[in-house]
Structure 1
Amino acid sequence: MSTSAEWEDLVSTALVGTDRRPLPGPGASEVELLGRAAVHTLRMRAGRRPVAPGEPTAVAAPEEQPAVSRAAGERLARILGGEQPRLLTEWLETAAARGYRLSPHLLPELLDHAAKDRSIRPHLGVLAGNRGRWLAGLNPAWGFLLEEVTGVADEISDVPEVSEVWEFGTSGDRRVHLGALRAADPARARELLTATWEKETPDDRAAFLEVLGTGLSPDDEPFLEAALDDRRREVRNQAADLLTRLPGSRLALRMAERAARYVNVLNGDIHVTLPTACDSAMERDGIRAKAPRGTGERSWWLQQAVARTPLDVWPRLLGRPPRELIRMKIADWGREIRAGWVRAAVLQEDPEWALELFAWDPIADLLAALPRDKQETVAADFVRRHGLDGQLIMVLGGAAAPWGPTLATAVLQKIIDVSGTQPWNLGELTKLAGERIDPALHGVAGRLSPEPPIQEVAALLRFRDDMLRELQ
């Protein structure tokens, strides 16, 4: 039987099944069919010449960054192997900030990890080095690396209007370049972005707009107002967020006018009139027409309008300071009004409103909106007054790391107090303390109490302290 005829016979048998069309010879089962097909395929491919000669793969460019120390690389391998895996981000962030690159043997596993976890990708852009980018060019699954930051940004003092990085760099490098220029000369950064705005991808436009949050001023308003007409919703929302932070902007004035139509004080109570429609002008100003599942449209429009209204409007409009407004009776739609105020305090980074709202409803985002020193004292006071539950854990998640002595002492004391009554309930708080407290305090923690949870915190702090020393 010819090769082609034999192949056709195998295909026909596979289509109808060996029970209806048995193969000739002994052992005519499905396994035999697959075995013959495999042999036949191998025979056809053996000795086949390529259609065109292959091109040799280009080699990776020489590395320019220093490699992490052997001890640091070994610790990373331990973390990847399951020892304190929650410290992976801290290790990567620290190593990237110091301009190191990874040992090549660690790259494949980390790139596979980053393919699933987007949060670590910006760190890998630096750490992967030229070898990592070479690998990413060979494997489409790692292609994301080719858009990340490739080096640690230098301080910008005097750069050309259009630099080589801005012209040819990755998206990440261009974002870092724009950020450095924005910090040094806000006007020049805005002019640079304006010059290339129409050529940028939608994703880059949204990312570049976020950079303008540094040094934000009324001079940025015309550019941001024009960005409200962008085709991409993320770009429009980012522009609206920035304009909300400019109290005298046209968007802020439009929102103040809407607030006056929706909210007033009557007989000592706050009364609310819901919007009747979400028109194109409201959508342009960042109010999304479609409500989340389970939320009424009109209440959703109200909440967003409140969130984008400058916070200094409310004391003038309602005749009360923030402390009193937050605690006043709201006849209807109080949840939406206060949720809008929370979003506004976070968006506008208003410490007075954030502090008052946190006292009314402790939320991690409000704690994060406070200045660093205030965060520490407010969070420590909350830990002392509040029991150990999910809310305590979430609030502590809003306190910037590393925690200093005030917050560290409050959390460690809470662990000691609870260890005598509910030791089984300390798992997450113990991990959080070990991950967020300043690792230099490991000795203080270890001497504080012999209780096992405290010693567990101290051991994790020592692990982090050694980890950071290895990356110096």
Structure 2
Amino acid sequence: MGEPQLSESGAAQKRPGTAETAPWGELVAAALLGVERRTPPGGSVGALLDAAAVETVRRRAGARPAAPHRRTEPAPDDPRPTPPKAAGRRLSLLLANRAGGGTATTGGGRRGPAPDLGELLPQWLAAANARGYRAPVAQLPALLDAARARTDLRAETLAFAGPRALWLARQNEDWKFALRDGVQRRIPEGEEHEGEIQRTWEEGLFAERVALLGALRRRDPGAGLALLASSWQSERAEDRLMFLDSLRQGLCPDDEPFLERALTDRSRTVRATAAELLAALPGSALAARMAARARTCVAQNHVTGAGPAGIVVEAPHECDADMQRDGVIPKPPTGRGERAWWLCQLVEAAPLRVWGERLGGRTPGQIVALPVADGWRDDLHAAWCGAAVRQRNADWARALIGPPTAPFTEGPGDPAKLLSVLPEEERGAWAAGFIAVHGLSEAFRILGVCGVPWPLPLGRAVVDALEIARDAGSYPWSFSGVMGLAERCLDPSDAERLEPLAAVPDASETESPGAGAYWAESFQRMVATLRLRATMLAELTPEP
């Protein structure tokens, strides 16, 4: 391209055949389409390039200076100590292999005998948090990336990362989840900071507002409720639902008036959530209304002569407007009868103490043992199971789940949910008794709600059941889920006990081809994982 011609004064002169001041859009269009399809301004390629150069300089020279941005505040301090050096190196290794890259595989896609490092990361984080460590600064980005990809890591990661995770999340869109899920968010205390809290509530991102409300509810439920009430009418329906769910933190009778008003909300999901929260308050007016309705449906039969006592059920014949206002959903799921559906919702929302009064002062165990007339037993028991889980009532959960030695049948309630209501020690003992009698075929969900590490009796019951399954020639692939749980949940001291099982057994005529080698490989991986977990815990021990 030729140089622009200059006059004696230095001013640029129009060269013959060039465009003077063609609009920028015309220049771009001509350049994109090409001179074969559109005559460029000035009539030639050279003229087009000259005009583009002049226009570029003019546009840049005419740009206004950008307004200065407020300088970013430094990241907050975190006074907690960092883990020992060996533990820090272990964390780097676990983060590098969090997607399973550290798991060796054998032919056919099998995992091989090496531990799965990605599955040990949650335990490492939990152990580090229990010891009061904070994340090394250099590892914060990798930790947040891991938590972004795996929601099961978020709570422990954000506790470990501390306030600096929230600071980083405000700088990087990819980590915005931390503002919503940040369990360590700091709420400034004192009257002088009330304006700051209100400003965040009014101007902050939605994720920041949810985090603020949740943290404030944990510290001061009344203040959190007042903050939510101040803007409730102007919030979007989907936002009202998320904010209302935050009231589960510190739910108390003082929340009842607000929740009662939410029963008339425009959004059906908001109304349903408000009804669920009110039902979790046994002394609420909604719970009393549900109890009154449930009493008309369930009663003790009139015993005549020597006949046994029992329960009779008369399910609702309609779902009226008042029931729907209190959260009863009128349309049942596919395959479910309307009356049974309405009955279960009423009984599940009624306080469980109602039934002792209604059924002759009996205990939960005695009530559950009563026969139920006309085939209503499963529906009634399923509703009681839901109520026991919702109200966290261990007596009812214990009665409904029954002894672990009872014949196993697909009952109306979820045994894993009922088991989660019981104290942790009792959970482990019940699960151990269940496995000793019934084996592992139905134990996976039950094991998932037991505390980690498993109590020694539960761990021994699981190992014994695995050994029995192996010796019986069972397909080892059927127990891969339990094996994976055992790697993460057995007490590390069980490694020595498992050592003999890691040898390849002699093949028997009844076992599947290759099953013995697979069982041995699985036990080898379990032993290696338990020993690695023991090493991890030792590395996290504070250095002298």
Equivalent position of 2:486 in the other structure: 433
1:109-168 per-position Cα deviation (integer Å, ceiling 9, x unaligned)? 4434434444433334343455543432232232232344364889xxxx8689769937
Alpha-carbon offset, residue 352 of structure 1: 2.4
% identical aligned pairs: 31
Q: Distance in 2 between matches of 1:338 and 1:365?
A: 14
Equivalent position of 2:122 in the other structure: 89
Equivalent position of 1:8 in the other structure: 29
Equivalent position of 2:396 in the other structure: 353
Q: Distance in 2 between matches of 1:43 and 1:100?
A: 60
Equivalent position of 1:198 in the other structure: 229
8 Å CA contact retained: 1:434, 1:457: yes
Q: Distance in 2 between matches of 1:333 and 1:22?
A: 81
Q: Determine whether 1:384 maps to 2:406.
A: no
Check 1:260–1:435 CA distance in 2 against 1; reply closer, same or farther (3 A cut): same
Q: Determine whether 1:326 maps to 2:371.
A: no
Deviation larger for 380-389 or 295-304: 295-304
Q: Determine whether 1:221 maps to 2:253.
A: yes
Aligned length: 431
Q: Determine whether 1:264 maps to 2:299.
A: yes
Deviation larger for 353-362 or 231-240: 231-240
8 Å CA contact retained: 2:166, 2:185: no
Check 1:123–1:253 CA distance in 2 against 1; reply closer, same or farther (3 A cut): same
Q: Distance in 1 between matches of 2:336 and 2:30?
A: 62
Q: Distance in 1 between matches of 2:525 and 2:341?
A: 45
Check 1:41–1:429 CA distance in 2 against 1; reply closer, same or farther (3 A cut): farther
Equivalent position of 1:140 in the other structure: 173
Equivalent position of 1:167 in the other structure: 197
**1:410 counterpart (452, 461, 464):** 461
TM-score, structure 2 as length reference: 0.66
Check 1:85–1:354 CA distance in 2 against 1; reply closer, same or farther (3 A cut): same
SS class of match (1:313)? helix
**2:427 counterpart (347, 358, 375):** 375
Alpha-carbon offset, residue 385 of structure 1: 1.2
Q: Determine whether 1:273 maps to 2:320.
A: no
1:173-211 per-position Cα deviation (integer Å, ceiling 9, x unaligned)? 6634543x4xxxxxxx44434443413663674354212
Q: Distance in 1 between matches of 2:538 and 2:213?
A: 31
Alpha-carbon offset, residue 365 of structure 1: 0.5
Equivalent position of 2:527 in the other structure: 458
SS class of match (1:426)? helix
1:264-321 per-position Cα deviation (integer Å, ceiling 9, x unaligned)? 3457664433323334432443333444455444432221111112223224334465
1:373-396 per-position Cα deviation (integer Å, ceiling 9, x unaligned)? 21121111111111332x310111
1:31-75 per-position Cα deviation (integer Å, ceiling 9, x unaligned)? xxxxxxxxx999998995765348577374254243344433333
Check 1:190–1:64 CA distance in 2 against 1; reply closer, same or farther (3 A cut): closer
Deviation larger for 249-258 or 292-301: 292-301
User: Which amino acid letter does the alignment assign opposite residue 175 of structure 1?
Assistant: G
Equivalent position of 1:36 in the other structure: none
Equivalent position of 1:31 in the other structure: none
Check 1:324–1:173 CA distance in 2 against 1; reply closer, same or farther (3 A cut): same
Give unmatched runs, 5+ long, in structure 2: 1-17, 40-50, 103-116, 201-207, 233-239, 303-308, 403-408, 504-519
Check 1:462–1:287 CA distance in 2 against 1; reply closer, same or farther (3 A cut): farther
User: Which amino acid letter does the alignment assign opposite residue 178 of structure 2?
Assistant: L
8 Å CA contact retained: 2:259, 2:274: yes
Alpha-carbon offset, residue 248 of structure 1: 4.3
8 Å CA contact retained: 2:185, 2:211: no
Equivalent position of 1:363 in the other structure: 415
Q: Distance in 1 between matches of 2:453 and 2:434?
A: 18
Equivalent position of 1:397 in the other structure: 448
Q: Distance in 1 between matches of 2:52 and 2:129?
A: 49
- Structure 1 or 2: more helix by fraction: 1
1:320-347 per-position Cα deviation (integer Å, ceiling 9, x unaligned)? 6544543524424443322211111111
Check 1:22–1:67 CA distance in 2 against 1; reply closer, same or farther (3 A cut): farther
SS class of match (2:299)? strand
Deviation larger for 73-82 or 288-297: 288-297
User: Which amino acid letter does the alignment assign opposite residue 281 of structure 1?
Assistant: D
Alpha-carbon offset, residue 212 of structure 1: 1.9
8 Å CA contact retained: 1:96, 1:127: yes
Alpha-carbon offset, residue 368 of structure 1: 0.7
The 5 Å alignment of 1:44-59 reads 51-53=64-66, 55=68, 58=72
Q: Distance in 2 between matches of 1:205 and 1:395?
A: 32
**2:328 counterpart (274, 282, 287):** 287
Equivalent position of 1:316 in the other structure: 357
Check 1:384–1:44 CA distance in 2 against 1; reply closer, same or farther (3 A cut): farther
Equivalent position of 2:508 in the other structure: none
Check 1:276–1:51 CA distance in 2 against 1; reply closer, same or farther (3 A cut): farther
Give me the CA root mean square deviation: 4.1
8 Å CA contact retained: 2:216, 2:223: no
Alpha-carbon offset, residue 358 of structure 1: 1.5
Q: Determine whether 1:424 maps to 2:437.
A: no
The 5 Å alignment of 1:116-155 reads 116-129=149-162, 131-149=164-182, 151=184
